[in-house]
Amino acid sequence: MLDYQSVKNWDFGDITHSYTQRDTMLYALGIGIGAQPVDAGQLQFVFEQNLQAVPTMVSVLGSPGFWWRDPRTGADWVKLVHGEQSVRLLKPLPVAGQLVARNKVVSITDKGPGKGAVAVITRELRDQDSGELIAEGRNVTFLRGDGGFSAKGGQSDAGPEPLPATPDRAPDIEVELETLERQALIYRLSGDYNVLHADPAVAQAAGFTRPILHGLCTYGMAAHAVLKAVCGYDATRIRALSVRFTAPVYPGETLRFQLWHRDSASLQLRARVDSRDVVVLNNGLVELA
């Protein structure tokens, strides 16, 4: 069972992450940008001339890895799932650099026996030389096998504030983006080597018909949809993006992103796979510059 004190006080240490223009272009290719190689907007993310970094690349920089597998956490790591992801840019992400990440567990909430637990981990990314804060991230993890942990120590934190529900009306904008059959094999080169996304035997053992796409790849595709439909492929326009993961995506599927204007500086977002009639991202919130 999850050990509250051990997890809440987990020492990740400072993580230095160096990345190059090549890494920036590879991340963009991994989320499907460049599918139209003569599109001038897309070329700004996959070609070294006038290169920009996709804002959601923040989510793969400075990761502590799959630390939940450490037996000191006490967590049933086999049953955990990535529930929500957010990033906020304080300034445009450089296309290359050396950043220092500071990860912190800010809350662990016991939903009760049989109902699981929720952990919130935040990350700061600072320029190594100046110490300037570049971006912040938030990961919400659902620990499906750890409900009831507070019976041991009596400690449980308030849960995270819920993301807003999507409007009950037709979307203002819709964008369709296709995924490649090999997309998970490209995206994993940005640092997530979980074999669930590559090995058919492992995927079948986990209950899937074949390897699934990384949730953070789908998340990056949400940024692509916003860049394409709203921002004219100007990366500086996206200040923050939050989503909830609601279902897996299989490589090769087409995603339909639905956007609603919330006000002049924000949008709400949802993504569907129409071929299976399933919502894969929900409760999305986009903040624009």
Residues marked as catalytic: 192, 197, 212, 215
Q: Is 226 exposed, middle or buried (0-12, 13-18, 19+ CB in 10 A)?
A: buried
Round to whole Å and give the CA distance between 192 and 219.
14
Round to whole Å and give the CA distance between 18 and 27.
14
Q: Are strands 278-288 and 254-263 parallel, antiparallel or unpaired?
A: unpaired
